Amino acid sequence: MSAVELSASEVMSLREKTGAGMMDCKKALVETGGDIEKAIEFLRKKGIATAEKKTGREAKQGSVTSYIHAGGKIGVLVEVNCETDFVARNETFQNFCRDVAMHVAAANPRYLQRSEVPAEVLEKEKAIFMDQAKQSGKPDNVLGKIVDGKIEKFYGEVCLMEQSFIKNPDTTIENLLKDMIAKLGENMKINRFTRFELGQTQS
């Protein structure tokens, strides 16, 4: 399909769905033969690649966002950083911050990312998983792989960046962040979070 054969409504429709620029939308439709869904995927892949290039830039602006859930029984504070105050005040950015805070309230991550998991916690989990693997009766030569698989699953359960987003389990918080970087054109990072639950003591 050539650019001439594309209707303005097709390009506008893709722009509304993705937030990408008109020329990028036109190029995506040409590349995918006018298939809207494939064009969305094309733009998403391009956006994530662009986002990767931005991650080295400083992000000192941003927002501390709060979320209160379950009638005041759970409260969350999340700090999300970006590069400029302009983006920090952007409604799309603010909505992203609220989504992350709501996710933390619901999913209760213990750590931001896997590098923050203490070595002693990891060793304890590995020991438990090894005992489980041995009890399963599997051959000794596959026990290590079984434990490695369980550790990866453990990271996905306790680390915010690796958790499946509660509003869209097909994507992770990390990929959600990359999509936001691509959409708003600035480096961003989820810097820290705190989750309070009524009656729960801090460890």
Distance CA 47, CA 187 (A): 12
* 3 state SS of 172: strand
CATH 3.30.479.20 boundaries in the chain? 61-112+159-197
pLDDT tens-digit map of 17-30: 766 667 778 888 88
Distance CA 195, CA 66 (A): 10
Least confident of 40-49, 80-89, 93-102, 183-192: 40-49
Q: Is-contact 45 28, C-beta < 8 A?
A: no
- pLDDT of 1 reads 42
Q: Is the pLDDT of residue 54 over 80?
A: no
Q: pLDDT class for 191, splitting at 50, 70, 90?
A: very high
Q: Is-contact 8 22, C-beta < 8 A?
A: no
Cβ-count burial of 96 within 10 angstroms (0-12 exposed, 13-18 middle, 19+ buried)? buried
Give the chain's mean pLDDT: 86
Strand arrangement, sheet containing 74-82: 61-69, 74-82, 189-197
pLDDT tens-digit map of 29-50: 888 888 888 888 887 777 655 5
Of 48, 160, 51, 55, nearest to 101 by C-alpha is: 160
Mean pLDDT of the region 140-157: 91
pLDDT tens-digit map of 103-122: 999 999 999 999 999 999 99
The CATH architecture annotation of domain 3-54 reads: Orthogonal Bundle (1.10)
- What DSSP state is assigned to residue 183? H
Whether CATH 2.60.40.420 fits 61-112+159-197? no
CATH 1.10.286.20 boundaries in the chain? 118-158
Q: Which amino acid, 27?
A: K
The CATH topology of domain 118-158 is: GTP Cyclohydrolase I; Chain A, domain 1 (1.10.286)
Of 174, 191, 164, nearest to 51 by C-alpha is: 174
Q: Helices 36-54 and 8-18: crossing angle, nearest 10°?
A: 50
Q: Which amino acid, 54?
A: K
